[in-house]
Homo-oligomer: A and B are copies of this chain.
Amino acid sequence: MKNKLIIPGRIVTNNSNDEILLGNAVEIKDDTITGIKKWSKKEIQSFKGQVIYAEHLTLVPGFIQTHIHLCQTLFRGLADDLQLLDWLQLKIFPFENAHNRASLKYSVRIGINELLLGGTTTILDMGTLRYQEEIFDELINAGMRAFAGKCMIDQNDLFPGFKSNTKSELNETLQLAKEFHNKSDLIKYGFAPRFVLSCSEELLKETRNMMQDFPGSIYHTHSSENQYEVAEVRKRFGKENIEFFNDANILSDDVVLAHCIHLNEKETGILKNQKTRVAHCPSSNLKLASGIAQIPLYLKNGISVSLGADGAPCNNSLSAFVEMRLAALIQKPIHGADVLNAKTIFKLATIEGAKALHIDDKVGSIEPGKKADLVLINLDRLSHSLSNSPEKIYSDLVYSASKEDVIDVMVNGKWVVRQKKSLLYDENELYINSKKQLSSLLKRL
C-alpha cells in the first residue's frame, strides 16, 4: 500500500483537546496515521507516496454507526407509516424471510455503498437469519470496518416462518464466529440475538457464554424500543427489558443495546452500573412512532451513547448526518435549546461509537498511531456557515451538512470513495441488479 499525505484546509482531530488544526498534513503509512504536522513545500515535494491537496476541504474521522441492518436496504420505501411490531409482522420479517443469497448480497452492497459515500467507515450490523456469510463476504470485499453477526431468532409470534431452533441458532452462530471473528483486521463478530420477544432465555444466555471465546466481540440486540414490546416483555417475565437482561447476566460493557427508549430509573441505573452501551437511532425512533430516548439523561449518567441509522425502511436513509441533526434537534424542545450542542453530537457519531465498540485505540479520532479511517468533506459551500471561526465546523457538520458534502473517504488507509464516486462499485450495475433482486423477492413473498 502506497504511503499517503493528505493536506486538508482543516483537521477536526477529535483528540482529547478537541483540536482543530489548520494547514497541517496527515501522513499515512499503510493503514496507519503516522504523523500530523505542518509540512514545508520542500518536504512535500520530496514525499514518497500519494499527495492529496485538499485545501478547500475539512478532514474528519470516519463516522461510526452502532446499529445498522444492511439486509434491509432493499426494502426502503416499502414499509412506511407503521409502528414497530406491525412493521416487523407485516413487512420486515416477511421481506427478510424472502431473501435469497443474491437479493441479500445486493441489499448489503447498496447499504455499504450508501454508508461509505456518506462517510460512515465503521458499523455494527444486526445481520439476518440466513446466509450471514454473504454479509461477511460483502463487508470483507468492500474493506469496511464492521462488527457483524447472524441475527438469531428461535421464537417468533409475529411471523412464525421466520425463525430457527435454539440449538441450530447457537451452532450456526458458533461456526460463523469461528470463521469470521478477526478474519481480517477490520472484521469482528457481533453476536446478534434480535430482541427479547424473539429469543428464548436459553438462546440469550448461551450466546453470552459463547462470547467468552471471542475476545473483542460485541453483544448486539434491541431493547425497549416500543411500548407494546415493553408491555409484552413485562407480561411474559414480570419485569422490564433491561432488568430481564441484567437478571440473565447478559449486561456488561461489551453489550450494545439499540434504542433504549422506554426505560425507568432503575433500568437507567443498571445501564450505568453495567457500563452497557446505548445505540441511539433518532430517525427510526420517530418514524416507527417508538418515542424519544432520554439521551441527555443517559449522558449525564455517563452511559455510552452512539448513533445509528438502523435500517433503510425505517429511516429512509443511512446517513450519519441525518442522524446527527435529528439527535440534536429532537431533544431541544424537551431539555432546552443548549442541550446536546453540535460538538457533543459529532462525538456521539465518531469517538463515542469507537468507545462503544472498544476500538477507540484504533479509530474515532485523527491522531498518530490510529488507523486511517478518514473523510474529506466540503464545508466551504454556500449551504454552510460563512463564518471564518474554526468552531463553525461543528455547526456545519451537525446542522447543515449532508452526505452530499462528502468528497473522499478512506478506510484503514485505503481510498473507497474519491470525488464522490465509489471506487468499489459500478453504481449503474448496482441499481439495475438491485431493482431486479427486489422485484424477484417481492414475487417470492
Contact = CB atoms under 8 A, between A and B. Distances in A.
21 contacts: A76-B385, A77-B385, A77-B395, A77-B400, A78-B387, A80-B341, A81-B338, A81-B342, A87-B337, A113-B382, A114-B382, A289-B336, A315-B399, A316-B399, A317-B400, A326-B329, A330-B330, A382-B431, A382-B434, A386-B434, A386-B435
A240 interface: no
Contacts of A184: none
Contacts of A380: 431
Given A382-B113, A382-B430, A400 B76 contact: yes
B110 A382 contact: yes
Contacts of A434: 382, 386
Nearest to A330: B286
Nearest to A396: B77
A381 interface: yes
Contacts of A316: 385, 395, 399-400
A212 interface: no
A112 to B, nearest CB: 11
Interface of A: 74, 76-78, 80-83, 86-87, 110, 113-114, 283, 285-292, 315-317, 326, 329-330, 332-333, 336-338, 341-342, 380-388, 392, 395-396, 399-400, 402, 404, 427, 430-431, 434-435, 438-439, 442
A431 B82 contact: no
A86 B337 CA distance: 10
Most buried by B among A288, A317, A438: A317
B83 A337 contact: yes
B342 A80 contact: yes
B387 A77 contact: yes
Nearest to A82: B337
Contacts of A384: 76-77
How many copies the complex holds: the figure is: 2
Contact of A332 (B288, B332, B342, B396): B288
A356 to B, nearest CB: 24
A80 B292 contact: no
Nearest to A442: B387
Contact of A341 (B81, B87, B110): B81
Contacts of A388: 435, 439
A338 B442 CA distance: 23
Contacts of A283: 329
A438 B387 contact: yes
B381 A431 contact: yes
B386 A333 contact: no
Given A78-B385, A392-B77, A337 B287 contact: yes
A292 B427 contact: no
A349 to B, nearest CB: 17
